[in-house]
Amino acid sequence: MDAFFEVENVVREFRPPVTLGDKIAARLGAKVEMRSVKAVNDVSLTLEKGKTLGLVGESGCGKSTLGKVAAGILAPTAGTVLLDGKPVMTDGRKQTTRVQTVFQDPFASLDPRMKVGDAVAEGPIEHGLVTRADARAYVLDWFARVGLDPSYANRYPHQFSGGQRQRIAIARALAMQPDLLICDEPVASLDVSIQAQVINLFLDLRRDLDLTCLFISHDLSVVRHVSDRVAVMYLGRIVEEAPTEALFEAPAHPYTRALIASIPKLVLNRETLVEFDPIAGEIPSPLSPPPGCYFAPRCPLAADRCRETAPDLRTTENGRRVACYFPVSTRGAD
């Protein structure tokens, strides 16, 4: 089975740099503890062409790291990322321009000393998508497509608002004519009123360009709005992955249920007004995760078995995958 975009058993570890003291201690025979964090722990995902996969999870669950590995910014410690069967990255170098990224913070992701038009033109000129002579018209065209006045191309990033900057960042990514767009919390740093505009722009462009997207966010309502499928991540692992409506209507993993239950709801009905359940407890330290299922310490359904060995991600009905010994029944979801 050759999927359009495949993340296969990807692990990304971070370890603190080995200090000289540690090296000497190790040489002298002392036991030096090598603490490492598996920000992404054996994650496999596939994405069909033209579809959008939402990736959700709490802060620190590794979703941004997974996004960076998928985008070819970080090399995986183990596993592969394949686009059309070809690796996105080999030997620590990104091999393709067909994957592009929109970053979370448009105040940090644009070079403050480069005119925004030049920033959009830089990649396409470099990779021969457009000649230097035609670059100007090309950039102005992209400005128009993301809803910016083309005359703004001569300005610097500090002259724009957050929403405008994110439009520029989107133009920069799309000007590279990617097949896969990785959006890492693209609206998280924007005002709520601006979020909707940028999301709608994103939806329009996705339709017009037939883009495949990996959409990373902690905002469940945004993810539900844009995604065909949703994957839920907890402490570096995927705990559940399913078609969007099935996942939101009938979450199978206790963590997904807790996550969806924790969405604050504004309802004008007295009975449902207080429907807001924050998940009990905190994410365990990724430096020393619990031995079994990572969610067991916080899980209302946890049994002894959950605390000993972690459940595999198993495919259940309707293309749903869930990593739980006691998945909540999903019958009647359809």
**Span 176-195, contacts to another protein by CB under 8 A:** 176
138 binds another protein (CB under 8 A): no
Identify the helix (H) or strand (E) that includes residue 201: helix 192-209
User: Which residue's CB is nearer to another protein, number 71 or number 226?
Assistant: 71
Distance CA(162)–CA(156), nearest Å, equals 13
Alpha-helical runs (H) found in 57-115:
63-70
CA dihedral 228, 248, 292, 66 (to 10 degrees): 30
Residues 143-172 that bind another protein (CB under 8 A): 149, 151, 154-156, 158-159, 169, 172
Measured from the CB atom, the residue of 116 and 259 that comes closer to another protein is: 116
- Tell me, by CB under 8 A, how many residues bind another protein: 33
Assess 132 for contact with another protein (CB under 8 A): no
Select the span of 42-50, 52-60, 104-112, 306-314 touching another protein (CB under 8 A). Answer: 104-112
**18 in contact with another protein (CB under 8 A):** no
In 3D, which of 65, 247, 111, 20 has the Cα closest to residue 121?
111
Q: Classify burial at 189, counting beta carbons within 10 Å of its beta carbon; exposed 0-12, middle 13-18, buried 19 or more.
A: middle
Q: How far is the CB of 135 from another protein (least distance, A)?
A: 15
Q: What is the closest distance, in whole angstroms, from the C-beta atom of residue 298 to another protein in the complex?
A: 32
**In the block, which residue shows the tokens 């033209």?**
50
First vs last C-alpha separation in the chain: 27
List phi, psi (to 5°) of 40.
Answer: -125, 125
Q: Is 111 in the site for another protein (CB under 8 A)?
A: yes
Q: Which is nearer to another protein, 180 or 258 (CB)?
A: 180
Residues forming the site for another protein (CB under 8 A):
71-73, 93-94, 97, 100-101, 103-105, 108-115, 122-123, 126-127, 149, 151, 154-156, 158-159, 169, 172, 176
